[in-house]
Structure 1
């Protein structure tokens, strides 16, 4: 499954942009800006516009190239056999949405998931460090690494939602007992169209809190928030930055990467 427009490839688009008319503005953007972040609850931090334009273009490029190859994007099924309203690809380890178990290969085609690119892992590490810094400022007397632990991702689930895509309230509880006990965080990257994100302590949408996740945002939840119920009830069509869509050739929709440590 190709997440980009057919017949158009985004290879080299980052370099082309940097050497085009917007070279100067891109150089300034690459220099890390202070993050506009907020602690939503203990262990849950939202980093607004954390991913730069060029980082997002690179994420699309890499996911597109991996997604059209072996172990790439496919249409997953729910436990009841109905198709999910998204396309999925796993990196590092395969996650089976029917059995809710991880494995070394994808059962239906016996392909081995591609590895997590190093630059993705570096972004995750940087995001966690920024979230821990915000946590320290919010709870001055706390040990920020106890409220929001560090982790090294060995799993990445990549979902691509079209305009009608959605994902019901659920918990991420399929990682190892040790990972869950330590509250090792889930780190979520949003690229493309914005999403309506729900989160709460119960599987009840009416009682859940909500926040908009826009392109470039990073959401992290670990520690006491590791088992929070969360879901995406709606995508906001055509809300992605126009320049991102042009430079990446991403099809209309939302690309979401969630990193975890098994």
Structure 2
């Protein structure tokens, strides 16, 4: 389980040193104060096990009306800006001048998971998705571009950053479980995952 062999999948293990992880967590606390976590539901009304918020021009919404990007938090306020330290990670690992317009922030508490899905609500799939892990270890699973078939798994640890482009951009992926309490980054435990996306 050391490597995933999907073209376009890059893992930058321990990209963020512990002090950088703490600084990023502090920046995210400012975001959450302005845009509190919400409990998303699927269009059928099933509650998702992760909690979500966002930063940037758009946030990603999951509710009974469907899945979509929206310019406002469900409470009706604009999303806060993406922290500069997060944008620096995007610049460093993608080398792109185009900046992400959404930083989706998912919190995984004890027992939380994310089923296999594709990121396909964006206007173009030409841009990569950058995923940043903070806190408890998460078992990340990736398949192909069609649902079903063989999958591969890898544990993502606090400070790891993943870039998904090329064939990996539309691959099905998810988080099967977390090792709750495996990290000391957050005193109450849990995993935070940031995903940076170009949406328009």
Q: Same fold (TM over 0.5)?
A: yes
Distance 1:195 1:237 in 2: 9
Corresponding position: 1:105 with 2:72:
yes
In the TM superposition, 1:220-259 aligns within 5 A as 220-240=163-183, 242=184, 245=185, 249-259=186-196
Q: Is structure 2 residue 115 aligned with structure 1 residue 168?
A: yes
Distance 2:161 2:118 in 1: 18
- Structure 1 runs of 4+ off > 4 angstroms? none
**CA shift at 1:151, angstroms?**
4.6
Higher helix share: 1
Query: Which residue of the other structure, out of 100, 112, 115, is the alignment partner of 1:153?
Result: 100
Shift of 1:150: 7.1
Give 1:54-203 correspondences, 5 Å limit: 54-69=19-34, 71-92=35-56, 93-98=58-63, 99-106=66-73, 108-129=74-95, 151-176=98-123, 179-180=124-125, 182=126, 184-201=127-144, 202-203=146-147
Instruction: Supply the distance in 1 between the matched residues of 2:177 and 2:31 (Cα, whole angstroms).
Output: 26
Pairwise CA distance, 1:171? 0.1
Counterpart contact for 1:127–1:218, Cα < 8 Å: no
CA deviation string 1:210-233 (max 9, x = no partner): 111011101110122210000001
The question of whether the paired residues in 1 share the 8 Å contact of 2:68 and 2:121 is answered with: yes
Separation in 2 of the partners of 1:219 and 1:199?
A: 12
SS at match of 2:170: coil
In structure 1, stretches of 5+ residues that fail to align are: 1-36, 130-148
* CA spacing shift, 1:78–1:84, aligned 2, 3 Å: same
Aligned length: 194
Decide which structure has greater strand share: 2
- Alignment match, 1:48: 13
Compare CA radii of gyration and give the structure with the larger one.
1
Give the alignment's Cα RMSD to 1 decimal.
Answer: 2.0
Is the CA contact 2:136–2:158 (under 8 Å) kept in the aligned structure 1?
yes
| Structure 2 gaps, min length 5 | none
| CA offsets 1:149-177 (integer angstroms, 9 cap, x no match) | 7752111000010121100000000011x
Which of the pair has the greater relative contact order for Cα pairs under 8 Å at 6+ separation? 2
Could you say which residue in structure 2 is the equivalent of 1:138? none
| Residue 64 of structure 1: how far off its partner (Å) | 1.6
